[in-house]
Chains A and B, each alone.
Chain A
Amino acid sequence: MNADECMETIKLTSRGGDSFELPYAAARLAHVVRDANDENDDGDIDSPEDVEILKVNSPCLEKVVEFLKHYHEEALTEIKTPLEDNTFEGNVKQEWYQNFLKGIDQPMLFDLVTAANFMAIQPLLDLTCLKVSCQLMGKSAEEIRQILNIPKLTPEEEETARRDHRWIFDD
């Protein structure tokens, strides 16, 4: 059977034991799902099976499944680099994807990045990483260190950075 036309649904189960049901054709965007189903290069599978995603907690997996379902209906347009704009909305024009990450807190955002990476969902990884990039945009290394509570550079490191980056420090 061709996986792309597979009408059957499967369940993805989170670390907390909650299951989320979705069509296999949508779930297979995640390469872990393909691998778990031994989908070969031609996209042929027997009968799709449920997959446990033990690395991902329930609230995060729920959000991931929401993404997978929507992506199957409306794919995310490729994000072109170099970016045209410094804002998330300026680079992602599709309203659903703009709203998808609206209002979520920072831990959820980073859980999504990690989940997208672990589950090998490239479009979700692209989208969430873009969101993080836009948060960092326009901030200096010093500001980022303060926000993230990263220790200051030692005087020696500071000197090396200054030497390497004279053209940026502009002094």
Chain B
Amino acid sequence: MSRPKKPRLLEEKADTHVGGDDNAVIERSSATVDDLSAEMKAIIFGYFGPTEIMCLRCVCKKWREAAKKTIVPQAPFSVSTIDTYNAMRVMTRAIPNLQRLSILYLENFGNIFDDGEDPNIREAYKTASYTSHDIQIISRFSKLRSLDLFQASMNGRYPFLFTSFPLLQKLGIGLCDYLKFDLAMSMLAGFPLLKELEITHSPFITGKINSLRVLKDTLEKVHIESCLVRGNFMVLADFPHMRELHLIDVAVTGDVRDIGENDFPHLEQLSLPKGVVGGTDHKFLRISDVPEVMQAIYRLKDRVLSYYEWDSLWLSLSDQSPDWYDDCISSELQLHPPFSVELVQAGARHAPWMEMVWTSYTGTISHSCVGTASCEINWLDPEPDRESSDYENYEQKLHQLEQEVNFYRGYLQPPTEEEYYRICRGFIDRS
């Protein structure tokens, strides 16, 4: 048996309704948008971009109050001129709940942002006569979710950047020549919700990649390029949400062979620098490492959609390697030993059969002499089924690849030094 139902009277709780405008003729509780409370106007304004909200707030004082409460949607707003800088200064008071901001260069020559702590002296001297503008005002946007500093005219350290935006989800810094900071756990801890971190071409940004560990549970995309960041990339291997990891032209080290099946569980994109064994443009010290590294890369390709540019992966032997040999005769002939390795593919893109080719170190030059100097192909995949729809493509590509194998025909790996000189001499005798 259910209890008798007794209607319950709702008290006027949480009602934020604001009375009507004295000047408007109102017959009902809310006849126009102007009669709605500031909170409700703020929801309506929340569908507009920052510039439009700045226009709406011009209507009257009540609308200015509503604008102040509006959570501004993440539409782009960029500061790149004195006018937009001045607009931003007004916005810090008028629409403090801005969520997305890009700070770019100040367009007019002779304008910069205030120097930070410990500025680069030469740059500070060069810009001493410029008009400087307060950059710390952006710290009033305490609800920022996305902040980009791109080519921003800043010089030195700006600690407020790391303490003012607890809701930040995306931080991008690019081409900031004199912006200084050292990646440190204590600073990154100021962004407990950070999902995307992009730091590129900013030579005064330094530090160890280990510092990112403080963001382990939130980071989804990391792009660090041309900065002085160092450390082993494997410290990020257990980040549960990491989807894109791009480490390019940085002093990061490691070895792709260390990536286990359970590491980087959701990775979709990966770029590694040359300091990583198996990274872009890596130079091997030992030829004997090559097969294992190629196998590791091949396994990665299975689960990482883009491992930089798969089809342009091209790794070579360091000329500092004890395995390196070359002499003046072969140099003259431009018949270099096949000291580089390339992943090639026959059939449709992402088809599961691949090959490993040894090519001449200077493959392009050797074209003029003997065609390409490739070795035979080491296949990593079994041959596709003859019935498969892709078989024709495979055969075509295979034929093309076989034609390229010329000078080192019959070799599945680089010839020994002795064999190499013998082949060279044979070539001279024949011609």
B43 touches which one: A8, A50, A83, A129 (CB < 8 A)?
A: A129
Is A110 in contact with B30, judged by CB distance below 8 angstroms?
yes
> Is B36 in contact with chain A by the CB < 8 A criterion?
yes
Is A47 in contact with B2, judged by CB distance below 8 angstroms?
yes
Is A106 in contact with B32, judged by CB distance below 8 angstroms?
yes
Mark each residue of chain A from 88 to 126: 1 if its CB lies under 8 Å from any CB of chain B, else 0.
Answer: 000000000000000000110011011001101000011
The answer for the CA separation of A45 and B389 in the assembled complex, in Å, is 60
> Is A145 in contact with chain B by the CB < 8 A criterion?
yes
Name the A residues within 8 Å of B44 (CB-CB). 129, 132-133, 136
Check A150/B59 contact, CB under 8 A, given A49-B5, A114-B17.
yes
Closest to A141 in B: B58
Closest to B71 in A: A81
The answer for the CA separation of A125 and B59 in the assembled complex, in Å, is 23
> Is B60 in contact with chain A by the CB < 8 A criterion?
yes
Closest Cβ of chain A: how far from B30's Cβ, in Å? 4
Is B28 in contact with A83, judged by CB distance below 8 angstroms?
no
The answer for the CA separation of A135 and B40 in the assembled complex, in Å, is 15
The answer for the CA separation of A144 and B57 in the assembled complex, in Å, is 11
> Is B328 in contact with chain A by the CB < 8 A criterion?
no
Check A111/B29 contact, CB under 8 A, given A49-B5, A141-B59, A167-B83.
yes
The answer for the CA separation of A148 and B44 in the assembled complex, in Å, is 16
Q: Binding site of B, secondary structure by majority: helix, strand, loop or mixed?
A: loop
> Is A51 in contact with chain B by the CB < 8 A criterion?
yes
Name the A residues within 8 Å of B430 (CB-CB). none
Is A107 in contact with B31, judged by CB distance below 8 angstroms?
yes
Is B33 in contact with A81, judged by CB distance below 8 angstroms?
no
Is B55 in contact with A168, judged by CB distance below 8 angstroms?
yes
Name the B residues within 8 Å of A106 (CB-CB). 31-32
Closest to B51 in A: A168
Mark each residue of chain A from 31 to 51: 1 if its CB lies under 8 Å from any CB of chain B, else 0.
Answer: 010001000000000110111
> Is B86 in contact with chain A by the CB < 8 A criterion?
yes
Name the B residues within 8 Å of A32 (CB-CB). 10
Closest to A83 in B: B47
A140 touches which one: B6, B12, B39, B55 (CB < 8 A)?
A: B55
Closest Cβ of chain B: how far from A56's Cβ, in Å? 10
Name the B residues within 8 Å of A49 (CB-CB). 5-8
> Is B203 in contact with chain A by the CB < 8 A criterion?
no
Identify the interface centre among B25, B31, B44, B51: most chain A CB within 10 Å of its CB.
Answer: B44
The answer for the CA separation of A51 and B6 in the assembled complex, in Å, is 8
Name the A residues within 8 Å of B90 (CB-CB). 164-165
Name the B residues within 8 Å of A54 (CB-CB). 9-10
Closest to B91 in A: A164
Closest to B47 in A: A133
The answer for the CA separation of A79 and B58 in the assembled complex, in Å, is 26
Name the B residues within 8 Å of A110 (CB-CB). 28-33, 35-36
> Is A70 in contact with chain B by the CB < 8 A criterion?
no
Name the B residues within 8 Å of A46 (CB-CB). 3
Name the B residues within 8 Å of A134 (CB-CB). 47
B56 touches which one: A36, A117, A144, A167 (CB < 8 A)?
A: A144
Is A150 in contact with B23, judged by CB distance below 8 angstroms?
yes
> Is A65 in contact with chain B by the CB < 8 A criterion?
no
> Is A7 in contact with chain B by the CB < 8 A criterion?
no
Name the B residues within 8 Å of A135 (CB-CB). 33
Closest to B45 in A: A133
The answer for the CA separation of A125 and B42 in the assembled complex, in Å, is 12
Closest Cβ of chain B: how far from A107's Cβ, in Å? 5
> Is B73 in contact with chain A by the CB < 8 A criterion?
yes
The answer for the CA separation of A10 and B10 in the assembled complex, in Å, is 15
> Is B295 in contact with chain A by the CB < 8 A criterion?
no
Check A120/B59 contact, CB under 8 A, given A83-B47, A114-B40, A168-B54.
no
> Is B217 in contact with chain A by the CB < 8 A criterion?
no
> Is A62 in contact with chain B by the CB < 8 A criterion?
no
A156-171, CB < 8 A from B: 161, 164-168
Name the A residues within 8 Å of B8 (CB-CB). 36, 49-52
The answer for the CA separation of A152 and B84 in the assembled complex, in Å, is 27
Closest to A47 in B: B2
Is B47 in contact with A81, judged by CB distance below 8 angstroms?
yes
Closest to B25 in A: A149
B24 touches which one: A10, A141, A148 (CB < 8 A)?
A: A148
Assuming A50-B5, A52-B10, what are 17 further A-B pairs, CB within 8 angstroms? A11-B7, A47-B3, A49-B7, A55-B15, A79-B47, A83-B47, A106-B32, A111-B29, A117-B17, A118-B15, A125-B43, A136-B48, A141-B58, A150-B34, A164-B90, A167-B87, A168-B55
A–B Cβ pairs within 8 angstroms, 18 of them: A36-B10, A49-B6, A49-B7, A83-B47, A107-B28, A107-B30, A110-B32, A111-B30, A114-B17, A114-B30, A125-B43, A133-B47, A144-B56, A145-B59, A148-B24, A148-B32, A164-B94, A165-B55
- List 8 A-B pairs, minimum CB-CB distance, nearest first: A81-B73, A82-B75, A141-B58, A133-B47, A110-B30, A47-B2, A167-B83, A82-B73
